[in-house]
Structures are given as C-alpha cells and as structure tokens.
Structure 1
C-alpha cells in the first residue's frame, strides 16, 4: 500500500503546487482584480488538499525507507526538509496574507512584494519536488541514471 500511496500523494502535492503557481501567474499577468481575488481566495482552500497530500507523501516515504539512509534517499530527505520549511514559513502564511489582502481589494506594493516571494518559493518547491520525483523513479528502477 505504501508503494501506491507515496507516488500518488507526491504527484497530487506537485499538481496542487503547480496549479496554485500557474493560476497565480496567469491571473496576475492577464486577469482582472476580480480574477486575482478569486484565485488568491481559492488557494487557501486548496491547502486542505495539499497539506494532507504532503503529509501522506512524507509519511509513506519514511515508511518505505525503513530506517535506511544514504545516496538518493538522503538527498530526498534533505529536500523534503526544505520543502516543508518553505511551505510552513513562507508559502502558507503568504497564501493566507494574500487572500486577506485580495478580499479587501488591497493590491498595493506589499501585496505584490509578498506575491513575488510566494511565486519564488513556490517555484523552488516545484523544482525540489521534481528532483524528489526523479530520484524516486531512479530508486525504483523506473528511470535510469544518465551514463557518465
């Protein structure tokens, strides 16, 4: 069961973060204030899917590791620590702050500064999750390592 939960939960987490990021970038680039407000107020509701997905991916990953360390596994664990810290310290507070500012119609310099930080942190998490997916596929033999 862990072998099913881990990739499904990880894929769902990646899909959520990528959807949040893309919806934000598109609404900021091409949308109206109403569109931006709709996106920014929907994202905190999406956290109700994202956070359990990340917890399930992390928990099942640790269970699959069965206490082993080293190599790709250690790299994945270090990345997950950064992903979690980035989410808890930057992304979740930013999402809640931006939703509040958008609801109030306050699209000021502070809104856009936090928005830029959120986009950068989200891009970092997408990249880190992508690296973890790549390493997970390598560990299971579904992806070959490049020849040296």
Structure 2
C-alpha cells in the first residue's frame, strides 16, 4: 500500500508544480493584471493546500520505504530530496505567498517580476529534480531493470 500512496503523492505534487509553472508562464505572457492576480491567488488557495500534503505524504512514504535500502537509485533520490525541500520551503512557498499579495494589491513592478523570475527558475529546478526521482522510482519497480531478470 505504501508504494501506491507514495506514487500518488509524487504524481500529485509534480502535477501541482507543473500546473503552477505552466499557468504562471501562460498568464504572464497572455493575461491581464486581473488574470495574473487570479492565478497567483489560486496557486496559494487551493494550490498550496493540495501541494503541501502531497509532498509530505511523498516524503514520509519514501523515507519509510527506503529506510534499509542501499540501492544506488534510492541513494540518488535521497540526495535530491534536500534540494527539492529547501527550494520549496525557502523559495517557492514564500514567493507564492508574496507574489499573491503583490498581485492582489496591483503591485506589478520590477520587484514583482524579479521575484517571479526567481520563482520560475526554482520551480523549473524542482520539476527537473522531481521528474528524475519519478524516473528512478520507475526504474526500481520495472521488472526489466531488476538484477534477476534474464
């Protein structure tokens, strides 16, 4: 059951980050100030209330399943996780909240766009790291990748 919960949490978290990233890019390129404010608001609520539990479930189940495993792919995933967590907690989460507040107040100045650029780079970084973890997780569960496969 843990692998299924882990997989669903990872997929949910990755889809959230990808949705936030894509919607931000599209609304910045094609939207109005009001649509930017709407997207920023939706990322915070309900977005973060979906993303944060999904990440917590993914981390908890991943940690529980990997406790005694020394598989090289498990070790790679474990090395990526601190970067994903630090990036999320110290860049993405605060940026989402601040950008939402600024957009709601109509503050679309250079500070807004600098923070937006930082958020997009951090989001792209987390997406890459999360996709690498998904790829490695799939490799570990693929019967063709197992050492006993002939």
- Class of the TM-score when normalised by the shorter of the 2 chains: over 0.9
Q: 1: distance between equivalents of 2:50 and 2:105? A: 25
Q: 2: distance between equivalents of 1:102 and 1:142? A: 49
Partner of 2:17: 17
Partner of 1:6: 6
Q: 1:142: Cα distance to partner?
A: 5.9
Deviation per CA, 1:85-129: give whole Å up to 9, x if none: 000010000000000000000000000000000000000000000
Alignment of 1:39-50 (within 5 A): 39-45=39-45, 46-50=47-51
Please list every run of 5 or more consecutive structure 2 residues that lacks an aligned counterpart in the other structure.
none
Q: 1: distance between equivalents of 2:142 and 2:49? A: 32
Partner of 2:126: 125
| Number of residue pairs matched by the alignment | 145
Q: 1: distance between equivalents of 2:96 and 2:5? A: 27
Q: Is the 8 A contact 1:137 1:143 kept in 2?
A: no
Q: 1:144: Cα distance to partner?
A: 4.8
Q: Is the 8 A contact 1:134 1:143 kept in 2?
A: no
Which 4+ residue blocks in structure 1 deviate beyond 3 angstroms?
A: 142-145
TM-score where L is the length of structure 1: 0.94
Q: 1:69: Cα distance to partner?
A: 2.8
Q: 1:143: Cα distance to partner?
A: 7.0
SS in 2 for 1:69: coil
Partner of 1:64: 65
Deviation per CA, 1:43-99: give whole Å up to 9, x if none: 111111101000101111111113223411111011111000000010000000000
Q: 1: distance between equivalents of 2:68 and 2:86? A: 22
Please list every run of 5 or more consecutive structure 1 residues that lacks an aligned counterpart in the other structure.
none
Q: 2: distance between equivalents of 1:73 and 1:137? A: 11
Partner of 1:76: 77
Partner of 2:30: 30
SS in 1 for 2:44: helix
